[in-house]
Amino acid sequence: MNLVLPEDSLLVRDMFARLFAEQASSERVRAAEPLGFDADLWRELLQVDAPFLRVSLDAGGAGMGLFDACLMMEEAGRRLAPAPLAESVAALRLLGELGGAVAEQWLDRVRGGDALLTLAVTEATAGSAQMIPGAGVAAGILLLDGEDVVIEEPAEPPETPHTLGGAALGLYTPGTGARQVVASGAAAQAAWRAAVQEWQLLTAAALVGLAQEALAMGARYAAEREAFGQPIGSYQGIAHPLADDVIDADGARVLLWQTLRAIADGAAQAAPMVPQLFWWANRTATNAVAHALHTFGGYGLTDEYDIQLYHRRAKAWGLVAGDPHAHLACAGRRRLLGEHADLPDPGEVPVEFEPPPGGEELARETRALFEQLLDPDKHLLHDHSFESHDWDVHRALGAARLLFPDWPEEWGGRGADADSARASKAVWQDVGYTPPAAGVTGMIGAAVMAFGTQALKEEVLKPFAAGEVTAVLGYTEPSCGSDVFAARTRAVRDGDDWIINGQKMFTSGANLAGYVFLVTRTDPDAPKHRGITMFLVPLDDPGVEIHPVYTFMDERTNATFYSDVRVPDKYRIGEVNGGVRVLASALSQEQSGGYYYRNMREMAEAVEQWLRERDGLDDDGALARLAQAYTYADIAEGLGHRSLAAHLSGEADLAYGPAAKIFCSESFITVATDLIDLAAPDSLVRGKDGLGVVEMGYRHSTATTIYGGTSEVLRSMVAERRLGLPRSRG
């Protein structure tokens, strides 16, 4: 797994970032309106061979991969570069691939600055005018007419209507200009269609850059502009939509990289991922600029402010290819009906989403043990609740030292390296045994190892690792919800002991556990973040009461009450009044993403099978909705990979874990809601198989925005760390 840009790619990105910052200033962008073309910028791009980045070395180009070309386009989008770069890059690469005298002639003309060549992104229809990006300034238009890939030189300059966002759009009717045939036949058709897919990828990259910059502009304004005595960025009504948008924009970039990786690997899902990406990039850019402009208030509506430039182009750039939602139906046909798609050769793609190599032996051992232990008719598989916990399985894993294989051997682990531990845990997800008891106990055990007393380590770590006992979280209280630092449960020092009184709500798994990782207040006069101390409290104390609370997800949680519970000081974890540090360490593990993308795919597969049985997969609307579900799942998985990759590479933490958790859980709700609608009324029936997983997923999805930190708390973290906005929590 590697999502860090290599040095060569960093150089490409930084070079174009500087070029566009200098040559595509907002003044230049404005001066290029309404057409949307800056001839001086185009000459600068020719000077650095930008339009020829993708042309092969044999044809006189730079021979760069599509990944680096997308980095260039992201920087172009960030500055709204007024030049038909994506169209030209795709067209020139196609000429270099097809070769021949006509191609060589036009490559020379473009390189010499005598002509600009653009690409028609839809096939020619006899007698029908097409709106073509760049046609308003191009000397030649590369298009597909039947079996022929041709270049037409308009007899007269195409009409250039005043449009929403420039892009040098021109209306041109194929067949009305001088025509040169570049190539003919099935291979030529396939090459042209692959060039259109390349244009979609490049345009999506530009929309990612546009969205990221618009959000940065909105965040800067929100951090400076004050209302009611404080920056407007401290208001959740401003900060949270921007946080959602930056997560979606990051997701678009991750999906772009996933798509390029899939194309390079020849993966079956590569073909549908291109239109999925194109839809998502258009959707994300539209939402991002809408919220960014809203942040500016009335000023954002004025011509004086640059945000309106972004707002118009965010919608305009992608619409040249028609309704973005139609691309979802295309993705559905490719994914579910096997519709063929011609894809470009991406060249080198220097990112890798697969887990790092290593740990195969431990993974095989883990899988073999699960094969012995699990019975689909007995165990709740692919269920992320405590209801799926099975003591026999748990103890068997503990006896094999596979509950926490990365723990030191002295505490019941194997001392396994990080890659082996991840590979082993990945098997749990693959086989569907996913009760939270092991994960929560492991997180608490890690806190004990890092901050606990020696006596506490000796008491609990080996039993945890052996599967003999579990621990649960005691965070939430009726009066403070997700604001764990506002806890009122008191711990008062009494000699060498502490006396604890209070109440916790939603102590899930307490009926199974031996200990609770308890947030207590030890200094009521200190600021709330400084008066917190953590304890690991035995739940068999007579002062502890556990009352069941049942949920509509068929899960049991608990309310727990603590009445004069006396615990020795050895059960304290961390310093007195220093619980924030301990809790932050634990929360960083809990808020690291989610696996609900597996649930999304499982639901989509169930609906797909249901439709197949009813011959319902010939409906573009249904195909689009299934493709949308897979898009959310792909992005959710990708953002989880990004969180892990950032941890592995030692990158600065920009709330990647919370971002992944937000997207994964919120999109779970979106997908579950849409799929239960799509398959209605059959989806109303409960069950473990077929559409039953959709009904169960619908009930379960809502709770996931609460588990591991509510979406609202995590959005604030993203807004602060990712966008630099002021704190929106007390």
> Is the pLDDT assigned to residue 593 strictly greater than 80?
no
pLDDT tens-digit map of 87-146: 999 999 999 999 999 999 999 999 999 899 999 999 998 889 999 999 999 999 999 999
- How do beta strands 532-538 and 471-474 pair? unpaired
- Residue 582 CA to residue 210 CA, distance in Å, equals 39
Question: Which range has the worst mean pLDDT, 184-198, 539-553, 596-610, 634-648?
Answer: 634-648
Give me the residues paired with residue 220 across strands.
none
Q: What are phi and psi of 146, to 5 degrees?
A: 70, -120
| Pair 74, 120: CB distance under 8 Å | no
Q: What was the pLDDT predicted at 273?
A: 98
pLDDT tens-digit map of 436-470: 899 999 999 999 999 999 999 999 999 999 999 99
pLDDT tens-digit map of 469-517: 999 999 989 887 667 778 899 999 999 999 999 999 999 999 999 999 9
Nearest to 560 by CA among 573, 542, 548: 548
Assign 3-class secondary structure to 326-385. HHHHHHHHHHHHCCCCCCCCCCCCCCECCCCCCCHHHHHHHHHHHHHHCCCCCCCCCCCC
End-to-end CA, the chain: 38
61, 290, 318 from 76: Cα distances, Å: 20, 20, 15
- In which band, very low, low, confident or very high, does the pLDDT at 2 lie, cut at 50, 70 and 90? confident
Nearest to 181 by CA among 112, 129, 106, 89: 106
pLDDT tens-digit map of 538-588: 999 999 999 999 998 888 999 999 999 999 999 999 999 999 889 877 766
- Residue 402 CA to residue 465 CA, distance in Å, equals 8
Nearest to 698 by CA among 577, 613, 627, 606: 606
Share of the chain above pLDDT 90, in %: 83
Angle between helical axes of 418-431 and 360-373 (0-180°, round to 10): 30
> Is the pLDDT assigned to residue 190 strictly greater than 60?
yes
- Residue 484 CA to residue 520 CA, distance in Å, equals 9
> Is the pLDDT assigned to residue 535 strictly greater than 60?
yes
| Pair 263, 306: CB distance under 8 Å | no
> Is the pLDDT assigned to residue 730 strictly greater than 50?
no
3-state secondary structure of 152: strand
**Contacts (Cβ under 8 Å, ≥6 apart) of 295:** 218, 219, 221, 222, 232, 238, 242
Instruction: Please return the burial class of 320, using the count of CB atoms within 10 Å of its CB with bins 0-12, 13-18 and 19+.
Output: buried
270, 603, 617 from 621: Cα distances, Å: 21, 17, 9
Task: Return mean pLDDT, the chain.
Answer: 94
- Residue 677 CA to residue 664 CA, distance in Å, equals 20
Q: Could you say which DSSP state residue 684 is in?
A: G
How many CB atoms sit inside 10 A of residue 687's CB?
11
Nearest to 517 by CA among 432, 585, 606: 585
- Residue 434 CA to residue 595 CA, distance in Å, equals 10
Angle between helical axes of 186-224 and 711-723 (0-180°, round to 10): 90
**Average pLDDT, stretch 613-636?**
96
- Residue 646 CA to residue 652 CA, distance in Å, equals 8
| Pair 414, 405: CB distance under 8 Å | yes
- In which band, very low, low, confident or very high, does the pLDDT at 47 lie, cut at 50, 70 and 90? very high
Q: Superfamily for 7-191?
A: Acyl-CoA dehydrogenase/oxidase, N-terminal domain (1.10.540.10)
What is the per-residue DSSP string for 640-661?
HHHHHHHHHHT----SHHHHHH
Q: Where are the domains of the chain?
A: 7-191, 471-585, 596-723
- How do beta strands 515-521 and 471-474 pair? parallel
Instruction: Please return the burial class of 541, using the count of CB atoms within 10 Å of its CB with bins 0-12, 13-18 and 19+.
Output: middle
Strands (E), 128-258: 130-132, 140-145, 148-153, 170-172, 178-184, 226-227, 230-231
Indicate the pTM of the whole model: 0.92
- In which band, very low, low, confident or very high, does the pLDDT at 316 lie, cut at 50, 70 and 90? very high
Name the CATH topology of 471-585. Butyryl-CoA Dehydrogenase, subunit A; domain 2 (2.40.110)
Name the CATH topology of 596-723. Butyryl-CoA Dehydrogenase, subunit A; domain 3 (1.20.140)
Instruction: Please return the burial class of 438, using the count of CB atoms within 10 Å of its CB with bins 0-12, 13-18 and 19+.
Output: buried
pLDDT tens-digit map of 381-428: 877 788 899 999 999 999 999 999 999 999 999 999 888 888 898 899
Q: Could you say which DSSP state residue 566 is in?
A: E
> Is the pLDDT assigned to residue 169 strictly greater than 90?
yes
